[in-house]
Structure 1
Amino acid sequence: MSAAALVETGAGQVFVKRHHASVRSAPVLAEEHRFIAHLQAAGMPVVQVLQAADGNTALEHQGWTYEVHSAGRGQDLYRDAPSWTPIDAPAQAHEAGRVLARLHQAAADYAAPQRSTHLLVARDELI
């Protein structure tokens, strides 16, 4: 149970994500945001996770958890596609593989304990 939207603000466009608290909590998102910050420091092209005035990057309100990111640049070829839609062009698959290799290199020295989130969110051995 989640939703996302591009929102126009006085400071420009942002990407707002809303998750049901049973799926993502603020501490769980904080783990993900630390990883994104690590990737960014390693030179990966990631969108910036925006902070609230108190420095937090996720907010819980009435059973929902919210996060806000800068809007990504470029063309979103899969914007209207369902999740897990396969890549349909060899050149796109090649580029996705190249970027995935860079991500693995950038993440190699990231030190964090095993995630404490739900089985389907945290356990890659299911895939």
Structure 2
Amino acid sequence: MAGIKALISLSFGGAIGLMFLMLGCALPEYNKYWPLFVLFFYILSPIPYYIGRRVVDDTTDAASSACKELAIFLTTGIVVSAFGLPIIFARAQLIQWGACSLVLTGNVIIFATILGFFMVFGTNDDFSWQQW
């Protein structure tokens, strides 16, 4: 039952984050859809971690490996780019600063949801995402 509660709360967080992103795009005073390019970063952010986890054998006693560190570095670059893109759009006056703040709020919520997913379903304990 704990897995279902976690899944429901994570989907609620994802929906709230996407709502802020859509508000930053579709409100009548903003009405520009440039911030939707941030969706690419949402899709790309977990990929290095999945590849790194698949390649690295977790049975070794090493606390870290080069592949794991590279995956963390690439994920960090993707997340920072997701926060930087709306700021660059606002500085270039493609979007307004209010839309930028809504998109940044959505970024915080979405990336917290992705982190929560990996914390809840990333371990191989009693329940995991593999059972779904």
Q: Report if TM-score (shorter chain) is over 0.5.
A: no
Higher percent of residues as strand: 1
TM-score by length of 2: 0.26
Structure number with greater CO (CA < 8 Å, separation at least 6) is 2
TM-score by length of 1: 0.27
